[in-house]
Amino acid sequence: MSASKILLRRNLIALLDRLGIWSPGSFTLGRFLLVGTIGYLVNQFSLFLFYDTHVLWFLPGKDVQKDIGLLTIGDSRLLIASIAAVELSIVSNFLWHDRWTFQDRVKKPLYLRFAQFNTTSLGSPIIAISTLNILTPHFGIHYLVANSIGIMLGVTWNWLWNTRFIWRRNNA
């Protein structure tokens, strides 16, 4: 390997390490993505269960519009089901990240980590729920496809907050 390729590789590894994305011998990103995949499956299954079945019989029917102040919700059942599914996936992701992905990182009290995780995770669900509730009613994109697009858009947000704020590296 040429000297320029070795230098480029070292600089790339240093940059990825500095960004908290990858460091030699670290599987944190892989674990993060695997936990995200589990959370995605929890979210998709929950959304299907809450939206397409009668498990939550008390929810309004599909395609029922609701006016909330100046905002008109195109499908109130979809909105409620997507919020519930997102929160279930947040709880699942927190438990996996706390016990496995970031087990070697700085630990704060459990209640504080969970509160911070829920708070910092707020951006990703807003992205996912907004994407779902815009693409499905307004563009006719299947709700599971729209949900997948929204989730993918929130991954970077979650990675940055998780690695920079909740489970920082111990630089000691």
- Overall number of domains in the chain: 1
C-alpha dist (Å) from residue 160 to 6, 122, 155: 28, 13, 9
Residue 9 lies in a domain: no
Note the pLDDT tens digit of each residue in 38-77: 998 999 999 999 988 988 888 878 877 777 776 667 788 8
Residue 2 lies in a domain: no
Note the pLDDT tens digit of each residue in 115-165: 999 888 888 888 888 898 899 989 999 998 998 899 888 887 888 888 888
Domain that holds residue 123: 27-166
Residue 67 lies in a domain: yes
Residue 17 lies in a domain: no
Q: How far apart are CA 50 and CA 71, in angstroms?
A: 23
* Helices first, then strands: H and E counts in the chain: 6, 2
Residue 19 lies in a domain: no
Residue 6 lies in a domain: no
Nearest CA to 97 out of 113, 86, 83 is that of 113
pTM here? 0.70
Question: What pLDDT score was predicted for residue 164?
Answer: 81
